[in-house]
Amino acid sequence: MNTYQDYLKEIEERKKQGLHPKPIDGAELLSEIIAQIKDVNNLYREDSLHFFIYNTLPGTTSAAGVKAKFLKEIILGQFTLEEISPAFAFEQLSHMKGGPSVEVLLDLALGDDLAIANESKKILKTQVFLYEADTEQLEKAYRAGNTIAKELLESYAQAEFFTKLPDVEEEIEIVTFVAGIGDISTDLLSPGADAHSRSDRELHGQCMFEHNKEMQNALLALKDKHPNKRVMLIADKGTMGVGSSRMSGVNNVALWTGISSSPYVPFINIAPVIAGTNGIAPIFLTTVGVTGGIGIDLKNWVKQKDADGNTIVDADGEPILKEEYSVATGTVLTINTKTKKLYKGDKELKDISTALTPPKMEFIKAGGSYAVVFGKKLQTFACKVLDIDVPQVYAPSKEVSIEGQGLTAVEKIFNRNAVGTTPGKTLHAGSNVRVEVNIVGSQDTTGLMTSQELEMMAATVISPIVDAGYQSGCHTASVWDDKSKANIPRLMKFMNDFGLVTARHPEGKYNAMTDVIHKVLNDIAVDDWDVIIGGDSHTRMAKGVAFGADSGTVALALATGEATMPIPESVKVTFKGEMKSYMDFRDVVHATQEQMLNQFEGENVFQGKIIEVHIGTLTSDQAFTFTDWTAEMKAKASICISEDDTLIKSLEISRDRIQIMIDKGMDNENQDFKGLVDKANNRIAEIKTGTKPALKPDSDAKYYAEVVIDLDKIVEPMIADPDVNNEDVSKRYTHDNIQPLSFYGGTKKVDLGFVGSCMVHKGDMQILAKMLKNVEAQHGEVVFKAPLVVAPPTYNIVDELKAEGDWEVLEKYAGFVFDDSAPKAIARTKYENKLYLERPGCSLCMGNQEKAEPGDTVMATSTRLFQGRVVRDTEGKKGESLLSSTPVVVLSTILGRTPTMEEYEAAVDGIVLTKFKPSQKQLVI
């Protein structure tokens, strides 16, 4: 009984943290629990019954298999149990989602006992998670003349599993809870530092609001005061859920404010209500839909206009906002799902029809998007077997087709990869489309949740539609601690068995690869017409179109090979002028954001849109610096338009790097990576022969907006500043405050520098090496007045630097060099003034392992400047994360402060940073 006794010990430990017993997912423990249930005199029998009924995870967990088998014994009368009748056993099976439970239900429904078969049939009519083995069994029985199989197929054809669900209530009473003023990062809802606990939903729930118990208690008090109302979590004067997609963030909000998904499945809540003055960040809104929640764009603060329609600004040039209606904490409102309006009493406040579109209403009714996706798939299967047309049960997919209007790049990709649309119909932005997915990426801190999602949707193998799936190890690269050692090998085995290429092989057949997931996906995306889905907001490739996604959407893409979303509108970005020789391309990225905001009076026209960047002449390594940052621009995704020759170079780089990974032994049994090499070669041949040139939009495509970036105006390095002391708290920690280097007057103290994350590439490492040689030549030595942490994004880059001699230069100046044979087991808490060459991976950027010292001002190449990410506050000083180019970071650590322009130009003298000249060729058709 060691397993159960260990479980009891764990329960006692969790009690000390105020936690309930951890849900059971293992077969060994549940088998022991069942043995104790069968023993009527067992000391633990009562608790064992409770654990079996109320604390066992569903789906394809090994525990679910054991549970389904025991329930089958009860139904067949092979074991009689007073506490679990056959009827209750059927009810339990109905809540187990699929996998072993559906297998049992089908066996019973197609068996010889008619009474049992009819009861099983009733339950099966409510199920949607049927896979190939299940549908094949059902079809075979139907072909053999089984009447119950026929009845099931007829029920599925009519989608009774959906139509017989209760309608969404017409009025949903809510009470508001303002979680913050200004943009709310998903880090507030699910801090990166707590990534290790995401798969333990109750434990992870304790980190909500960054462990702020006062806020948590205020939320609980509000719920107690309004027991019959739903709590709506709000970002007032800001956007909710910026930054990462964070399924764990939505899970936490649902855990605190949502509805239980099942009385027999603990800590899995659904249907949260979330809102923001400027709406919900695009990928976070997708995550809300996964849980059947509601995300509302409040627009409760609006810009004031003068008589001529011009925006009225204050002394600082900032738009003056007026509060149209209050959403202060404790305000009681009503969502009317019929009129699709938000009310306060009888007063209409806002049209919220975009939050309650027909597809979103279906998600709400079904308890989440999974049930709708699988329901449609099951309905289509049943109709095919019955040889009938698919009845129109679900809301028809919105198809927007504008005659005579050309296509943007993303519209072309969606049309190319669309599934189930009207044959021959050209679709434009606004259409809702199912698309086949080519590449799927899972990262290690959300991957544990993705594996749980796959288990709960009863999936066992990656869809054959997907060219390749990749499971990274980058977010746990920096510190290989006990939490990582416990979680990551288990994740890697699951994903390897599922059919993904994994950064760590379960049997250690190759060295652990901790490469940054976005960089790997950027390499393995080998077609500019591809669709890529990845479990991180920075899944934004320089080839094809890539969407950052929550762990659930990643699971869905892995299981089905599809994703469903509206075709977003696009914003076209072009360039003019000439880059200064001393400027880095990172400065162009920041200047793009600054110039866009200036051109549109502070309105972020990128938010929720596709940024179609006519980058033309930059290969994918460098172009990725732009596409990566578009997550901070709040864009839905981005697409690079390249010249043919440039795209060929990018594809050759990708192909060769994939081959290196193959040579290291990383390919899977299906040889998916080999398939990518072949695909890259085919695409290169198509471009070279002119049979299919690089993807280009049509010249008469329609855009939401067009932005022209003037390179002549970029005369200084540009820095994204969190503006931590701004009196208007809504203006803090946004990525929209871009300042030139001279703003700091060469005097701002810098406590730590970081060169790394997905924003850097091989060229940045080369720049670093050349700068260090420059400084030594000018001053006789290199002395750091602040620590400099350097984390190359991939091992491939390290190998290339070693082959070309640059790594040797970096090692010469380093005071610490990573050692794969002895990775750090404890996060560094103090830093010396020296160069740290860290293991490839996310390092400081993620915030879940190492951080800067509290109160530090950090100059970094990374992506996030949110509070609590790289830095923490002290009582006396707020931590600051300023984001800039590699040259600025390096020089800031050598000086211990921000450099002047003279110091900067001297340090980069003779170094070719980025040769970027806008394409002189037509990048449209």
- How large is the average pLDDT for residues 480-503? 93
pLDDT at 8: 96
pLDDT, tens digit (0-9, with 9 covering 90-100), for 342-400: 999 999 999 999 999 999 999 999 999 999 989 999 999 999 999 999 999 998 888 99
CA-based nearest residue to 636, from 605, 614, 607: 607
Please give the mean pLDDT across all residues of the chain. Answer: 94
pLDDT at 758: 87
- Which token pair is 35? 């043995």
List Cα–Cα distances, 561 to 553, 576, 880, in angstroms: 11, 40, 41
List Cα–Cα distances, 851 to 485, 789, 824, 826, 880, in angstroms: 20, 11, 14, 12, 12
Return all residues near 95 (Cβ < 8 A) that are at least 6 apart.
58, 262, 263, 264, 265
pLDDT, tens digit (0-9, with 9 covering 90-100), for 201-221: 999 999 999 999 999 999 999
pLDDT at 578: 94
pLDDT tier for residue 536 given thresholds of 50, 70 and 90 = confident
Q: State the amino acid at position 492 in one-letter form.
A: M
pLDDT at 166: 96
Instruction: Compute the radius of gyration of the chain from its Cα atoms.
Output: 28
Check whether 320 has a pLDDT greater than 90.
no
pLDDT at 318: 78
CA-based nearest residue to 446, from 293, 562, 549, 564: 549
CA-based nearest residue to 437, from 525, 514, 508: 525
pLDDT, tens digit (0-9, with 9 covering 90-100), for 831-865: 999 999 999 998 888 767 788 899 999 999 998 88
Stretch among 34-38, 745-749, 839-843, 868-872 having the lowest mean pLDDT = 868-872
Provide the 3-class DSSP secondary structure of residue 704: coil
Provide the 3-class DSSP secondary structure of residue 254: helix
705 CB burial (10 A radius; 0-12, 13-18, 19+): middle
pLDDT, tens digit (0-9, with 9 covering 90-100), for 672-699: 999 999 999 999 999 999 999 999 999 9
Determine contact, residues 733/722, Cβ cutoff 8 Å. yes
Q: How many residues does the chain have?
A: 925
Check whether 590 has a pLDDT greater than 80.
yes
pLDDT at 445: 86
CA-based nearest residue to 107, from 84, 124, 89, 131: 124
pLDDT tier for residue 307 given thresholds of 50, 70 and 90 = confident
Q: How far is Cα 54 from Cα 83, in angstroms, rounded to an integer?
A: 13
- Which token pair is 855? 């109160």
Return all residues near 800 (Cβ < 8 A) that are at least 6 apart.
762
Better-scored residue on pLDDT, 385 or 456: 385
Strands of 736-890, DSSP E: 738-740, 752-756, 788-791, 814-817, 835-837, 857-860, 880-883
Q: How far is Cα 523 from Cα 624, in angstroms, rounded to an integer?
A: 10
pLDDT tier for residue 442 given thresholds of 50, 70 and 90 = very high
Check whether 558 has a pLDDT greater than 60.
yes
Check whether 158 has a pLDDT greater than 80.
yes
pLDDT, tens digit (0-9, with 9 covering 90-100), for 722-777: 999 888 888 888 899 999 999 999 999 999 999 988 889 999 999 999 999 998 99
Where do we find the tokens 């855990």?
Answer: 255
Check whether 1 has a pLDDT greater than 60.
no
SS3 sequence of 858-873: EEECCCCCCCCCCCCC
Residue 828 is inside which H or E element, if any? none
Residue 160 is inside which H or E element, if any? helix 160-163
pLDDT at 456: 84
Determine contact, residues 120/105, Cβ cutoff 8 Å. yes
- Which token pair is 725? 């002391």
Return all residues near 662 (Cβ < 8 A) that are at least 6 apart.
673, 674, 677
List Cα–Cα distances, 636 to 244, 256, 824, in angstroms: 12, 28, 36
Report the relative pairing of strands 570-576 and 705-710 from DSSP bridges: parallel
Question: CA 619: distance to chain centroid?
Answer: 25
First vs last Cα of the chain: how many Å apart?
71
Residue 798 phi, psi (nearest 5): -60, -45
pLDDT, tens digit (0-9, with 9 covering 90-100), for 628-669: 999 899 899 999 999 999 999 999 999 999 999 999 999 999
pLDDT at 244: 73
Q: How far is Cα 477 from Cα 824, in angstroms, rounded to an integer?
A: 9
Better-scored residue on pLDDT, 804 or 283: 804
Better-scored residue on pLDDT, 873 or 50: 50
DSSP string, 608-673: TSEEEEEEESS-HHHHHHHHHHTTTTT-SEEEEEE-HHHHHHHHHHHHHHHHHHHHTT---TT-HH
- Which token pair is 914? 């980025």
List Cα–Cα distances, 752 to 829, 830, 851, 857, 897, in angstroms: 12, 11, 10, 7, 10
pLDDT tier for residue 489 given thresholds of 50, 70 and 90 = very high
pLDDT tier for residue 551 given thresholds of 50, 70 and 90 = confident
Residue 910 phi, psi (nearest 5): 80, 0
DSSP string, 26-52: -HHHHHHHHHHHH-TT-TTHHHHHHHH
Check whether 316 has a pLDDT greater than 80.
no
pLDDT at 458: 87
- Which token pair is 343? 């009310």
